[in-house]
Copies of this chain bind each other. A is one copy, B any other.
Amino acid sequence: MDITQLSNQVHQTLNALRYGENPAELYEPIRYIMSLGGKRIRPLLVLLAAKMYNEDVENALLPAAGVEVFHNFTLMHDDIMDKAPLRRGQQTVHEKWNANTAILSGDVMLVRAYELFLGVAPDKLGKVLTLFSKTAAEVCEGQQLDMNFELREQVSKEEYIQMITLKTAVLLGFALELGAILQGAPDTDAESLKLFGDNVGIAFQLRDDLLDVYGDKDKFGKQVGGDILSDKKTYLMLTALEQANPEQLQIIIGWRDKTDLGIAEDKVRAITAVYDQLNIRQQTEQQIDLYFQQALQYLDAVQVPDERKATIRSLALQLMERDS
């Protein structure tokens, strides 16, 4: 299996989508956000899972696109809620147009996402849409928890894992499950693939938290310490808050609400020093490894020959930037 070839199929399918024309104010923002690009990892996962069971993945192309359109719908609405000015270095929809446009274009995007599933074979359509709807509601629940946590003083690591599971991981899991179901894979395989995806998703999100602090700035493409500067309750911060002694706690709390760029370097250095004292990096890496190993166990449980899992496995390793 060639990832590049599948990835091209994803891009071709997405580029060929037509969302609607009139009124232009409704549909132009959809074309805009879909044109901002991204790795298109979710539709790729659909096709990779589909390809494990059938070389011909034609029937999975539009549902795969549906997952990507849904994902971008959540980005459009999340950006309003988070008041985010930029998305992939470009103006967000509510900034380029306005919040009303972003609300309504997002709504119609969710409808279009559903429509992309409607070509699924009648005997599978109900099942696919039941799982998609469950996942879609979970993603909303995750976003709500994320917003709740911002306002809460105390959040446990377990609650945080629950939040990122809903907000991010379950859609990756669904993408893989979908690909399997579309090709008539056994239920047990579809479920194992879903759990593989969920766990990769959690590991991937934790890695994202880690890289914000300990990542190579050039490679990561974001300002190092952005989460620290904005007081984000990441896995690293929540672990530190749980384990900090009174002095360390005072340092963390002392820097809170100081988000001025002028003090950015000092703040990031001070918080990182506390992280270092508490071995937060190692603890997080250990946790990532745990979820990743769990993921691989679920992949092992899938009842197809190993060579048919090779591409998915290597993509997961690639996502985690690991060699094995």
Give the interface of A toward B (CB within 8 A). Answer: 20, 22-23, 25-26, 77, 80-81, 99-100, 103-104, 106-108, 110-112, 114-115, 118, 122-123, 125-126, 129-130, 133, 136-137, 140-141, 143-145, 147-148
Q: Which of A118, A144, A147 has the most CB of B within 10 A?
A: A144
Contacts of A148 in B (CB 8 A): 23, 25
A104 contacts B122, C-beta separation under 8 Å = no
Taken together as a complex, chains A and B put the C-alpha atoms of A107 and B125 apart, in Å, by: 22
Q: Which of A107, A122, A141, A148 has the most CB of B within 10 A?
A: A107
Q: Which of A20, A104, A118 has the most CB of B within 10 A?
A: A104
Contacts of A137 in B (CB 8 A): 20, 108, 111-112
A107 contacts B25, C-beta separation under 8 Å = no
B77 contacts A141, C-beta separation under 8 Å = no
Neighbour of A103 across the interface among B80, B108, B118, CB < 8 A:
B80
Neighbour of A118 across the interface among B80, B108, B129, CB < 8 A:
B129
Minimum Cβ distance to chain B for residue A130 (Å): 6
A-B contact pairs, 28 of them (CB 8 A): A20-B137, A20-B141, A22-B141, A25-B144, A77-B104, A81-B104, A103-B103, A104-B144, A104-B147, A106-B107, A107-B107, A107-B140, A108-B136, A108-B137, A110-B110, A110-B111, A111-B137, A112-B133, A112-B137, A114-B114, A114-B129, A118-B126, A118-B133, A122-B122, A122-B126, A125-B126, A125-B129, A129-B129
Contacts of A147 in B (CB 8 A): 25, 100, 104
Contacts of A110 in B (CB 8 A): 107, 110-111
Taken together as a complex, chains A and B put the C-alpha atoms of A114 and B77 apart, in Å, by: 19
